[in-house]
Chains A and B, each alone.
Chain A
Amino acid sequence: MNAVVNNEYYPDVLRQQIAELEKESVLPALATGPVSRRGFLQASAAAGGGLLLAFGLLGSGTAEAQQAGGGGARPAGPPPGPQFNPGAYVKIAPDGKITLYSKNPEIGQGIKTAFGVILAEELDAKWSDVTVEQAPINSAVYGAQFAGGSLSIPMAFTSLRQAGAGARAMLVAAAAQQWGVPAAECSASDSAVTHAASNRTLGYGALATAAAAMPVPALQDVKLKDRKDWKLMGKRTTGVDNYKLVTGQPLFGVDIQLPNMKVAVFEKCPAVGGKVASANLDEIRKLPGVVDAFVLEGTNKVSEVMPGVAIVADNTWAAFSAKKKLKVTWDETNASKDSWTAFSAQAKEAAKGAGAQELRKAGDIDAGLKGAKKTVEAFYTFGFISHANLEPQNTTAWYQKDPEGDKLEIWGSVQIPDGARTTAANVVGVPPARSTLHQLRVGGGFGRRLMQEFVSEAAAISKQAGGIPVKLMWTREDDMGHDWYRAGGFHALKGGVDDKGKLVAWSGHAISFSDDTPGGNKRAVNGGGWPSPGEFPADYTPNYRLAQTLSPFHIPCGPWRAPGSNTAAWVVQSFMHELSTAAGRDHAEFLIETFSNKQPAPAGGPGGGFGGGGLNPERAIATIKSVVERSGYGKPLAKGRFQGLAFHFSHQGHIAEVAEVSVDKNKKVKVHKVWVVGDIGPIVNLSGAENQVQGCIVDAISTMSQECNIENGRVKEQNFDSYKLARMSQAPVVDVHFLDTNYPPTGVGEPAFPPAVPAICNAIYAATKHRIRTLPITREGFSVA
């Protein structure tokens, strides 16, 4: 658990939420709840690893009841007839329809389908009988509910299996009782229980009511299926919302329509920290369709509400049109003056020194470098990038005046719903217990929606507008101009190999930023520097040093898909290739040799993360060997084609990738094919996992051309005309292969990303003998074709 809580690249709000859940057993709250409830499966999972609780509820604490009671936008009313409802995860109606509740936000990582598959597998439900619904947001029932860190699968895999298996056991018990036979003689399959000896079968629908009266099994008595008996897990399952998506049904935050709802826009100072000096509010209020316009003083915290001007209008276009006519004079006394040009010059100076703080040391780096047969020095630079979720940030909030105490209701596309809700409630002075949040499908997460200031903004606007439901819509320009950017940064390196070409010394100096945003924590910015001091090759080099130098930065930086790793992998894996090249070695052999060279663990512990035990060199080597074999790396290629190889471990995923490119005379890089081999443990939904990997590769290619230029505290790129996403023609063929292993499973939305850029850059080197040391590659005269 602590590995999660202490993981530096999670935002504070996520760490706090997980820590709260860890601290506070949810079970006592249930026992003293207002309605008689029985714990399902007991909450002993809390002790075993302390992740989240595998319990469900019987009785009124069901998903449906939560949902009906929770929000005005969903139909309320009594449940339709008696039904088996063994928990917050599973509902079986007498007609045999099975509803499974997916507790975490769906952000495009496919979790709604994956969670459904896990539950259905252990429940032995026929997939065509199953509907998967977004579970209501209620941490008292579901424990932590968030989408981030590729953690949904590792944190919920076992507890969801237990929930499904527990429900199955109750159905089997009901059938056995009805037939007067021992439960052990019965088996479940395809939503039915069978007693083979007497050739009798009953469907789950027919058993539902009787099953609800069966004793609730204890967690230790629930038998999970053997992997060889899995029918759904490991196979390809198409997304549960695909029909709705291809027919254009409302699913996303932006799609919410409420009676009497108004649409709001919010203009903040383009340089964070600026305040409203004056604005042409009278003029704006007279514009057609405009209901109100006012200054929000805000809380002066970037994670809540920064000062700005809100415009409330009858519809989106009226709001957007008024925003274009809005003239604000900003007081920029305390606003950001950050400049990338200035930081770049500063970093080059800093690189000459040893670094302000030493983060890690092993052996004797000076002696190691001195004794090396060959040494290499390099300075790597990566720019700031934006999340650019295609669904711009938005939230619908309704601050409701109430004689018993005001309330707040939120409809949002967010990654940490409880964090968003409680923060927004506090901002508008509503006790969090009197707030609710309806989680909607998220039009792209990538870490952006772990930061959720737009929710607080919507709540504050609804309150100040007099307590009307308001949908806050950010324009694309708002979105790109007020992101929590993937921090740019610099890394100065020295490395050495011995006379056998073996890695003997590695000295890294990360030059990054500290969070000096309004309300910021002054620590290293999120995902800006290094994933952890133990990051590879820390434990695989006899003489190792890692240092960092931080400059205060005023613009928010936040988690961006595989935070820290997404740049560290590029730096490390490119420099590894520089070293193997200097040594004249085959790169695959050099990588495998380095992973075979694990050093005794120094103080500070290994790098890595959650659950699965960190970087495992055997798993690393296995993926490298497999990707070499599949891609033919090292063998002759078609004329003009060149390959590059890279490996990275993050989020418990061991991933090796080979990219094949060609580069023309104009330095246009065509990525033809990328081979990916991953060890992420057993696969839940193969189609979803492959989709994530393919997406990671395309995303990585996008970032090779992207940059947010920051000058005078402002981000220059405001829309997709200047900030380029990869288009169809840039998408390579992607060969995805997962090793069949039994390590604890993990998500793959992040770990497949980091190796891609270094693999491509290593291929560019093979093609051109030019080492890309700057991202975007356009800064070195290259471009992606």
Chain B
Amino acid sequence: MAKVKLNVNGTDREVEVADDQPLLWVLRDELKLVGTKFGCGIAQCGACTVHLNGNPVRSCSVPAVAVAGQKITTIEGIAQNGTLTAVQKAWIDHDVPQCGYCQAGQIMTATALLRQNKNPSDAEIDSYMQNLCRCGTYVRIRAAIKSAAQALNGSAS
């Protein structure tokens, strides 16, 4: 067991964790941030995607001790003061979710994509978005990402 300091959604948190305990299970079980989901445990599905210093990582496969002191952002932490981000809004406007279980991970990945690429093409979206959606909402995810990109770029237009 080890004591670890994590900066989660802008707040420093100290938690006692097993040496190999994945960040996912620290977030869910210790910090009660259950928006980040468990799907496979082997970094295949992406339901557990969070941001580590702004980059998407699969938290089921990142030991918490390895990210001590670093900035972690979860689905609970992307809206600022209750204002949804463009990606979150687009998800609602396009009525993306079916069961909704994967969508936190999808939104975290899409958010990172749009930070790196302001205007992704279909092919770029397809290659970046490697999260699984069992309900098959990909058609809408693609549309929502484009809308969000437009909203982010077009606030000027």
Contact = CB atoms under 8 A, between A and B. Distances in A.
Interface of A: 107-110, 236-239, 241-243, 245-252, 254-255, 257, 263, 288-289, 315-318, 320-321, 388-392, 441-446, 473, 475-476, 687-688, 691-692, 694-699, 702, 719-721, 725-731, 733-734
Contact of A733 (B38, B107, B139): B139
A743 B96 CA distance: 28
9 contacts: A241-B97, A247-B75, A247-B84, A248-B36, A263-B29, A391-B99, A442-B99, A728-B142, A730-B138
B32 to A, nearest CB: 6
Main secondary structure of the interface of B (DSSP, over half): loop
A636 to B, nearest CB: 25
A242 B97 CA distance: 7
A108 B98 CA distance: 4
A446 B84 CA distance: 31
Interface in B68-121: 74-76, 79, 84, 88, 91-93, 95-104, 107
Interface string B45-59: 101000000000000
A248 B75 contact: yes
B135 to A, nearest CB: 5
Closest 9 A/B residue pairs (Cβ): A248-B35, A698-B136, A108-B99, A443-B101, A248-B75, A731-B138, A729-B126, A695-B136, A720-B44
A284 B136 CA distance: 40
Contacts of B41: 320, 475-476, 719
Contacts of B35: 247-250
Contact of A476 (B18, B40, B95, B126): B40
Contact of A318 (B18, B38, B74): B18
Contacts of A320: 25, 41
A110 B99 CA distance: 8
Given A318-B18, A389-B101, 16 more contacts: A246-B88, A248-B76, A249-B35, A315-B25, A316-B29, A390-B102, A391-B39, A441-B99, A444-B134, A691-B98, A694-B136, A698-B136, A698-B138, A719-B40, A719-B42, A721-B42
A734 B137 CA distance: 11
Contacts of B22: 317
A469 to B, nearest CB: 14
B28 interface: yes
B1 A444 contact: no
A317 B48 CA distance: 14
B99 A721 contact: no
A727 B103 CA distance: 14
B34 to A, nearest CB: 4
Contacts of B92: 238, 242-243, 246
Nearest to B85: A246
B129 interface: yes
Given A109-B98, A688-B95, A728-B129, A245 B139 contact: no
A766 to B, nearest CB: 24
Given A246-B91, A728-B141, A476 B134 contact: no
A392 B38 contact: yes
B140 interface: yes
Contacts of B153: none
A561 to B, nearest CB: 11
B12 interface: no
B104 A248 contact: yes
A391 B45 CA distance: 11
Contacts of B93: 238
B103 A444 contact: no
A109 B135 CA distance: 9
A691 B100 contact: no
A289 to B, nearest CB: 7
A345 B102 CA distance: 40
Contacts of A719: 40-42, 44
A236 B18 contact: no
Contact of A107 (B37, B99, B103, B140): B99
Given A390-B132, A721-B44, A698 B139 contact: yes
Contacts of A694: 136-137, 139-140
B37 A695 contact: no
A388 B44 CA distance: 13
B19 to A, nearest CB: 10
Given A390-B39, A720-B42, A110 B18 contact: no
Contact of A729 (B1, B25, B127): B127
Contacts of B33: 248
Given A248-B75, A444-B134, A391 B101 contact: yes
Given A289-B18, A315-B29, A245 B38 contact: no
B145 to A, nearest CB: 10
Contacts of B102: 390
A315 B142 CA distance: 36
B36 to A, nearest CB: 7
Contact of B137 (A473, A691, A702): A691
A731 B136 CA distance: 8
B125 A728 contact: yes
A321 B22 CA distance: 11
B4 to A, nearest CB: 13
B90 to A, nearest CB: 9
A261 to B, nearest CB: 10
Given A254-B34, A254-B38, A257-B32, A728 B20 contact: no
Contacts of B47: 390
- Residue of A237, A241, A255, A473 with most partner-chain B CB within 10 A: A255
A559 to B, nearest CB: 16
Nearest to A106: B99
Contact of B74 (A110, A248, A720, A730): A248
B21 interface: yes
A317 B21 contact: yes
Contacts of B74: 248
A734 B95 CA distance: 16
- Residue of B37, B139, B140 with most partner-chain A CB within 10 A: B139
Contacts of A252: 37, 101
Given A242-B95, A248-B76, A444-B134, A321 B100 contact: no
A694 B39 CA distance: 22
A247 B32 contact: no
Contacts of A698: 133, 136-139
Contacts of B32: 257
B30 interface: yes
Contact of A246 (B28, B42, B84): B84
Nearest to B97: A245
Nearest to A722: B44
Nearest to B129: A728
- Residue of B36, B40, B96 with most partner-chain A CB within 10 A: B40
A442 B135 CA distance: 12
B97 A390 contact: no
A255 B25 CA distance: 12
Contacts of B136: 694-699, 702, 726, 731
A773 B130 CA distance: 30
A207 B141 CA distance: 42
A719 B18 CA distance: 24
A727 B88 contact: no
Contacts of B140: 691, 694
A694 to B, nearest CB: 5
Contact of B95 (A263, A391, A691): A691
A443 B25 contact: no
Contacts of B18: 288-289, 317-318, 321
B125 A687 contact: no
A91 to B, nearest CB: 25
